[in-house]
Structure 1
């Protein structure tokens, strides 16, 4: 994997890990490895945590997060979504998009990078605005 993704430890709930691993396997069958290489890499290095034990400042699936561009200081607010629920108009970004893959499992204060057409985008994870687990939305 190239160096465009952050190197901080990342934390993923066991439920998210299982669902994302299935997604990676299905995507590989249909589209090959290209679309899921980044996500696959992040899943392999993730520390797994039970949903009840995940810290509230960790970006999990379906979390809404505020990012800050390190070069322009502009804010970006996104929600991590499974591909079938992605909706760019409502800023629900597919986990297969580089930005979503880059922030998955990060904590507030982490700096992440992901590839863009003219290089890399570098953002600070400024705030987790909504995390399903912290809101008591337990998934089994």
Structure 2
């Protein structure tokens, strides 16, 4: 997968680092460990900005985004949330889920690609429907 620039607010970085610290201390399955490692890698390479300086088309925590599945011509709408708030039935995906980690910090037009059991999956960020920072909701 090609690495693109990603953007994360200081506020999200602090909360995600806390999540990682707890998760890395109490690692569960190999899968959980891999998800934590994936998130850590993304945070390590991210451009960290103040909430007021985040690009309005970047996916931040609690953002609602429309994605297109490049392999199926299918549109998906997800809200990126912390694990405790995840609910697949309502489109609330955890930042620790592979797709959640993949979209964090991406911008409209970015294409994410990752390996799934059935092969590779490619999604394109079509639109950020709601971003807390753009709406002035800096502490969601």
What is aligned with 1:16?
12
Deviations 1:66-109 (A, max 9, x none): 00011111111100000011111111001000001000000000
3-state SS of 2:109 partner = coil
Verify the 8 A CA contact 1:15 1:51 in the aligned structure 2: yes
How many residue pairs are counted as aligned between the two chains? 136
Listed as ranges, the matches of 1:91-130 within 5 Å are 91-130=91-130
Verify the 8 A CA contact 1:98 1:115 in the aligned structure 2: no
Verify the 8 A CA contact 1:67 1:124 in the aligned structure 2: yes
**CA RMSD in angstroms, aligned pairs only:** 1.4
The Cα of 1:34 is off from its aligned counterpart by 2.5
Structure 1 outlier segments of 4+, above 2 Å: 32-35
Structure 2 unaligned spans of 5+:
none
Q: TM-score, normalising length from structure 2?
A: 0.92
3-state SS of 1:31 partner = coil
What is aligned with 1:42?
42
Structure 1 unaligned spans of 5+:
none
What is aligned with 1:60?
60
Distance (whole Å) between structure 1 residues aligned to residue 81 and residue 72 of structure 2: 26
The Cα of 1:57 is off from its aligned counterpart by 0.3
3-state SS of 2:26 partner = helix
Distance (whole Å) between structure 1 residues aligned to residue 51 and residue 139 of structure 2: 8
